[in-house]
Amino acid sequence: MRSSSLLVAFSALALADEQVPLVDKLKGWFNQATAAVSSAVPAVPSPADAVRGKVAEQIQHELTLENWKETLTADPTASAPTTQEWLVFITGGNTTCYGFCGNATKAWNTSLPLLAAQSNPPKFAIIDCDAQTILCNSWSVGPPSLYQFSIPKPLADQSAPATTVRYVPLNRTSTTTDTIKKLVIDKELENTPPYEGVFHPFNGPLQEYGLAIPVAYVFWAFAKMPSWLPMILISFVSRSFMGRRAGPQPGAQAGAGAGARPAQ
């Protein structure tokens, strides 16, 4: 049974890479090739994009594996009980987003001044999964997407309710400023049920037992594994399993030996 479970696990890992549509893969490879060819020519951003980028840098925090727990906290000046809302935009580059996150990132940067102008705005942060692969794996999130955190401030005895989180994937090509506005300002994001699974960044079992980072490194290792290696491992395991099943059993060998003794 253990060999069968291992075989199923390796099969699932081998098929995981096939979940990305072939068209997206081909486009991603083309984008990477185009970027490699044009890397010698520095890109000149438009003035509007440059302004949006500067505004985004001033408004939002850049999260890393080392600083996210210290950054995503409640306002220390607020009186408990209260919660602090955070919006975390998750983006990526050619490695984690196949070069398709530019449109969603531009929509996010354009939306930030509008979101920050609300009467009681949330705090903002961003994660680049190309640069922070382990962090994204430990949360089991992929770009482009939006994560909302409602973080309670601990009471005097340091007790606090669980952090409420909502996760919404964003379309790579059709996300616009209006998409972000509807999710945040029009509160469509609140229609998404809170996530309470094992990858919950604050209260999930993996975080509570210190397993989130080790599991993230396992995911990272399998992502780096050549596509042919899982098939070789599956073949090896299946051959070993079938070989043991097809071999003679110890009881049968003993019985055959006893039957071959000459009569006294």
Contacts of 237 (CB under 8 A, 6+ apart): 3, 6, 7, 10
Q: Is residue 264 part of a domain?
A: no
**Residue 20 gets which letter from DSSP?**
S
Report the number of distinct structural domains present in the chain.
1
Q: How many CB atoms lie within 10 A of CB 107?
A: 20
For every residue of 147-203, DSSP letters joined together read EEEEEEPP-TTS--PPPEEEEEE--TTT--HHHHHHHHTS-GGGGSPPP-STT-TTT
Q: Which three-class secondary structure state does DSSP give residue 70? A: helix
Q: What is the pLDDT of residue 37?
A: 40
Q: 56 is in which domain, residue-wise? A: 42-228
Q: What is the pLDDT of residue 217?
A: 96
Select from 191, 208, 190 the least CA-distant residue to 200. 208
Q: What is the mean pLDDT of each run of 10 residues along the chain (264 residues)?
A: 44 46 52 46 47 64 96 84 93 94 96 93 96 97 97 80 95 96 95 96 95 95 75 73 61 52 51
Q: Is residue 156 part of a domain?
A: yes
Q: Is residue 29 part of a domain?
A: no
Q: What is the pLDDT of residue 18?
A: 45
Q: What is the pLDDT of residue 159?
A: 75
One-letter identity of residue 30: F
Contacts of 188 (CB under 8 A, 6+ apart): 182
Q: Is residue 18 part of a domain?
A: no
Q: Is residue 163 part of a domain?
A: yes
Q: What is the pLDDT of residue 79?
A: 77
Instruction: Round to whole Å and give the CA distance between 131 and 109.
Output: 19
Q: Is residue 261 part of a domain?
A: no
Residue with tokens 């890479």: 17
Q: What is the pLDDT of residue 88?
A: 98
Q: What is the pLDDT of residue 11?
A: 47
Contacts of 107 (CB under 8 A, 6+ apart): 175, 176, 177, 179, 180
- Show the tokens assigned to 4: 């069968």
Q: Is residue 256 part of a domain?
A: no
Q: What is the largest CA-CA distance in the chain?
A: 104
Q: Please report, for the domain that includes residue 184, its CATH number.
A: 3.40.30.10
Instruction: Round to whole Å and give the CA distance between 232 and 154.
Output: 51
Instruction: Round to whole Å and give the CA distance between 31 and 37.
Output: 10
Q: What is the pLDDT of residue 181?
A: 96
Q: Is residue 11 part of a domain?
A: no
**pTM of the predicted model, to two decimals?**
0.69
